[in-house]
Structure 1
Amino acid sequence: MIHHWVDGKPYAGTGTRNAPVTNPATGVTTDDVALASAEDVDAAVASARAAYPAWRDTSLSKRVQILFRFRELLNERKDELARIITAEHGKVVSDAAGEVARGLEVVEFACGIPQLLKGGFSENVSTSVDAYSILQPLGVVAGITPFNFPVMVPMWMFPIAIACGNSFVLKPSEKDPSAALFLAELWAQAGLPEGVFNVVQGDKTAVDALLEHKDVKAVSFVGSTPIARYIYETSARNGKRVQALGGAKNHMVVLPDADLDLAADAAVNAGFGSAGERCMAISVLVAVEPVADELIAKITERMAKLVTGPGDDPASEMGPLVTRAHRDTVAAYLSSSAEQGATLVVDGREGLPEGEGFWLRPTLIDNVTSGMDCYKDEIFGPVLSVVRVSSYEDAMELLHNNPYGNGTAIFTNDGGAARRFQNEVEVGMVGINVPIPVPMAYYSFGGWKNSLFGDSHAHGIEGVHFYTRTKAVTARWLDPSHGGINLGFPENA
């Protein structure tokens, strides 16, 4: 049984429910995970609340020493962690290793917290009066994270939150829960005090208990748009600070002057990496004519060489989907797209690997229009839709009318067109000849429109601001050279 982590050690909890954990490549249940009760959430929050005062008062130097030790332990055992991800999520080991590496970047960014927490200081704003600002932690904060990145997304959150002096409660996905406990063990080995980092496994019961808990001061979330909206509204109603990153429908615009080989490689990598189960996946290729036919031919040629198989097989380039139900949902879009008039260029239901795994091969759909379900919905699978347009202006209209605004890319050799695109497009993250514009850790990750609820993006300097609050101080001191006469603000301003 996979349990929780409270007070610096495994915690069985009081809940009576559990859920199966399955290897997506075989369809075999490998373990069960305990689902937290509201009382289990109370225990985790109480542990975090008790640990917070001492951790808040721990010096920045000591915090950074622990962060560096955590970083070194994580780096030493990154291959082991990648295998845990593959076993429960299904992504190929190289994708899992890349996920760990991107999470490590945020840990490294958080190691610079003494610089990041600097406030401002103004001397003598009035006679013998100084003014300054300081950044202070919030208290107990929580992260609710998705199945598709069980390591990277939590590490967008807790390294910065903990570095800022908060204590943290993580609620990972019940589909791949083991990575969270692995990270908790590394924190303990790094010397993090008991209670500063806690894990509650669970489902909606655990989520709601966190959202409604009076001692949780802030909530970070990554997931689908409907749930992000629910997290945002419920958290706000309970007086919490919230950043809720929602869904996506990422478009890749290819202009006629683009390098089509580069664009084809990018479309395949961005569309089918991690089986398309990522919020930055390219799911819509907008081909500005007359490039569509040639581009589709190049993509089809590359897709034929992609190897779909178990994530722990070094030959595999794409693994299975996370659950049977999700695989069936994604596959249904292939039928509906054909029924609605699109063309299935490559049908991912054909040539599947043997066995009971949750398989679907990469799929390419042409002649897609904005009214089709495969265009409107976030499919979250290895399905790439091609929309043909006649001009740059038509492409921009398509993007502006889409309710999502997470990531986008443009492929072109025209610097003027690229600059115009980055200025005009209503999307939070933009790639120019880069298909997946995930920013480095010292910038912040987040979208616009229905891809973000709340004002703050994840990690980077916005993450530091999210996990701290500013206190402005105005100080007045007696000037001994004037015989102790009070020369302060406002009487002597």
Structure 2
Amino acid sequence: MTRTYRNYVDGEWRDSTTGETFDTTNPAAPGEVVATYPAAGDEDAEAAIRAADEAADEWAATPGPERGAILRRAAANLADRKEELTALLTAEEGKTHAEAGGEVQRAIDIFYYFAEQARDLAGERKAASGPDTNLYTREEPIGVAALITPWNYPIAIPAWKLAPALATGTTAVMKPASVAPGPALALFEALDEAGLPDGVANVVTASGSTGAYMTEHEAVDAVSFTGSTVVGEQVYETAVEHGKRAQCEMGGKNPTVVSDTADPAEAAEIVAAGAFGVTGQACTACSRAVVHEDVHDEFVDELVAAAEGIEIGPGDEYDMGPQVTESELEGTLDYIDVAANEGAELVAGGGQPAGDRFGDGYYVEPTVFTGVERDFRIAQEEVFGPVVAVIEVSDFDEAVDVANDSDYGLSASIVTDDHTEANRFVEDVEAGVAKVNDKTTGLELHVPFGGVKDSSTETWREQGATGMDFYTITQTVYDSF
């Protein structure tokens, strides 16, 4: 049975003032409607922002341990619904059951983590120059935050924006991507059941134009965005123009360097996991394998075998699910055509799988290209699908040069048995996240995350205790007596 959702504004579940709705469908079976949502407009966003603004002072005055207790109860509520939310995420976004379950668990863990962090947000005491002054800092909430989240991690990313905001005493208005908003709304259901005061957190399901309205609104003090670089740059420029604090995490063209000391089979396993996991629909997905000529051929054989060994199908049964929408699928297929026309050699995948289980689903095969030159579009532009370009190099210096030859700088990894080489890579690679003998995807929740270059506005990091900095302003106190 199709579920019907409402917006959550000022502690109430409300229909949109527009009276309009939209449906989400299952990417594995596009004729199957998953849920119906209100198509919110600016009037709905206005009500949500005003509610957050009116609740801001009281929430800021709420003791940190009390705010943390609400987050902890919300985490427990999410845990009780883990299987239900895993099924919803798979149905709306297309992830496999294992991937969706891992993401739901991450959201639960994030809420528990920031529940504890709320206890420790007390500033620091410093030594004063004189004996009669007590010198210390206080962390004050910034006010109202607008949170704009993407569809590819529809519960984890909303959680890692919303939980730290609430932990600091900041109120929030969220606009999740309309492709898969259900998991994000589950966070608000959990918070509502946990006793969150009215107006502290609000969510509206709407088009991108409503996100723009939120970004410009006079009562919004900070804007946090995750999504494409094109949109993120627009969001940042608008927010800054209107005097707001802003953070934007955007696209990636993430490399894995395969050293001549690497085991080709191990390297191929790492690259395949980073490139084909979550159907390649991650900003941190491995899109380029930069491989030393001495191990190139064996690595390619292993990577092709890994790609061809992936079973594709509906996410509740198979290794790799569909792409999220028809337009995302078409974009990936277009890039596959571009790569072939540029002269790259297709050695695995490259098409849509045939068979009864695929139906009209948005499936594409895990794809590997070799003979890729560093200036090919397939080596420079974000694909956002399960496609990896293999670039052959002659030595370590060339490998790092190729890895850095991108407008993006989000995540990068190296597979090597040489510790000195690993250290040099970490020092020289232009990326916000650097990994050794690991895939480019996968993040710990208690350390900072963010990119450089066109992957990020390079303003504030997300996740970990550092993730709360964006939502606070430091006050320095000189207490003389």
Fold equivalence (TM over 0.5) = yes
Question: What's 1:450 paired with?
Answer: 454
SS of equivalent to 1:211: helix
Match of 2:336 in 1: 334
Paired amino acid for 1:319: G
Which residue does 1:285 correspond to in 2?
Answer: 289
Q: Does 1:227 align with 2:231?
A: yes
Percent of aligned pairs with the same amino acid: 34
Deviates more, 1:273-282 or 1:341-350: 341-350
Deviation of the 1:373 alpha carbon: 1.9
- Is contact 1:429–1:437 with CA below 8 Å preserved after alignment? no
Partner of 1:343: 345
Decide which moves more: 183-192 or 107-116. Answer: 107-116
Q: Following superposition of structure 1 onto structure 2, how do residues 388-403 of structure 1 map, counting pairs within 5 Å?
A: 388-403=392-407
Where do 1:53-452 residues align within 5 Å? 53-114=57-118, 116-122=120-126, 125-313=129-317, 316-353=318-355, 354-436=358-440, 438-452=442-456
Matches of 1:422 and 1:352, distance apart in 2 = 42
Query: C-alpha separation between the residues in 2 aligned to 1:409 and 1:287?
Result: 12
User: How far is the alpha carbon of 1:211 from its aligned partner?
Assistant: 0.5
- State the alpha-carbon separation in 2 of the partners of residues 350 and 121 from structure 1: 61
Partner SS for 2:202:
strand
The one-character-per-residue Cα deviations of 1:134-159 (angstroms, maximum 9, x if unpaired) are: 00101111110111000011111111
CA-atom RMSD in angstroms: 1.5
Helix, strand or coil at the partner of 2:29: coil
Q: Which SS does the other structure have where 1:386 is aligned? A: strand
Greater alpha carbon shift after TM alignment, 270-279 vs 67-76: 67-76
- 1:436 Cα deviation from its structure 2 partner: 2.7
1:244 is paired with a residue whose SS is: strand
Given residue 251 of structure 2, which amino acid in structure 1 is its aligned partner? G
Q: CA, structure 1 residues 11+114, in 2 after alignment: closer, same or farther (shift >3 Å)? A: closer
User: 2:11 maps to what in 1?
Assistant: 8
CA contact (8 A) 2:159 2:187 kept: no
Is the contact made by 2:286 and 2:441 (CA closer than 8 Å) also made in structure 1?
Answer: no
Give the one of 9, 22, 27 matched to 2:25.
22
Structure 2 CA distance for partners of 1:124 and 1:392, relative to 1, 3 Å? closer
Over alpha carbons, which structure has the higher Rg?
Answer: 1
Does the CA-based 8 Å contact 2:413-2:435 persist in structure 1? Answer: yes
Unaligned runs of 5+ in 1: 478-493
Aligned counterparts of 1:165 and 1:151: Cα–Cα separation in 2: 21
Number of residues of Structure 1 aligned to a counterpart in Structure 2? 475
SS of alignment partner, residue 286 of structure 1? strand
Matches within 5 A, 1:449-468: 449-468=453-472
Shift, 1:19, TM fit: 3.5
1:431–1:437 Cα contact (<8 Å) kept: no
Letter in 2 for 1:3: R
2:352–2:363 CA contact under 8 A, matched in 1: no
CA distance in 2: counterparts of 1:400 and 1:294, whole angstroms: 24
Partners of 1:437 and 1:275 in 2: CA distance: 12
The answer (yes or no) to whether the contact 1:310–1:319 under 8 Å persists in 2 is yes
Flag the 1:304–1:347 CA change in 2: closer, same or farther, 3 A: closer
Cα deviation for residue 107 of structure 1 reads 1.8
Between 46-55 and 322-331, the greater mean CA deviation after superposition: 46-55
Shift of 1:351: 3.1
Offset at 1:103? 2.4
Partner Cα distance (2:149, 2:130) in 1 = 48
Query: Using a 3 Å threshold, how does the CA distance of structure 1 residues 297 and 41 change in structure 2: closer, same or farther?
Result: same
The separation in 2 between residues aligned to 1:426 and 1:118, in whole angstroms, is 34
Deviation per residue, 1:145-197 (Å, 9 max, x gap): 11100001111111111010011111100001111222111111111112111
Partner of 2:52: 48
> Which range moves more in the overlay, 113-122 or 91-100?
113-122
Q: Which moved more, 1:31-40 or 1:214-223?
A: 31-40
1:470 CA drift (Å): 0.2
5+ unaligned residues in a row in structure 2: which ranges? none
Q: Contact (CA 8 Å) 1:161, 1:167: kept in 2 or not? A: yes
The secondary structure found in structure 2 opposite 1:49 is helix
Name the amino acid aligned to 1:27. Answer: P
Aligned partners of 1:272 and 1:4: how far apart in 2?
34
Q: Secondary structure at the match of 2:221?
A: strand
Residues 230-264 of structure 1, C-alpha deviations (whole Å, 9 max, x = no match): 11111101111111001000000000111222111
The answer to whether the 8 A contact 1:252-1:285 is kept is: yes
- Aligned-residue offset at 1:323: 0.6
**1:8 CA drift (Å):** 1.9
Q: Deviations over 1:396-419 (max 9, x none)?
A: 111222110000000000000001
- Measured at CA, do residues 29 and 46 of structure 1 come closer, stay the same or move farther in structure 2, by a change above 3 Å? farther
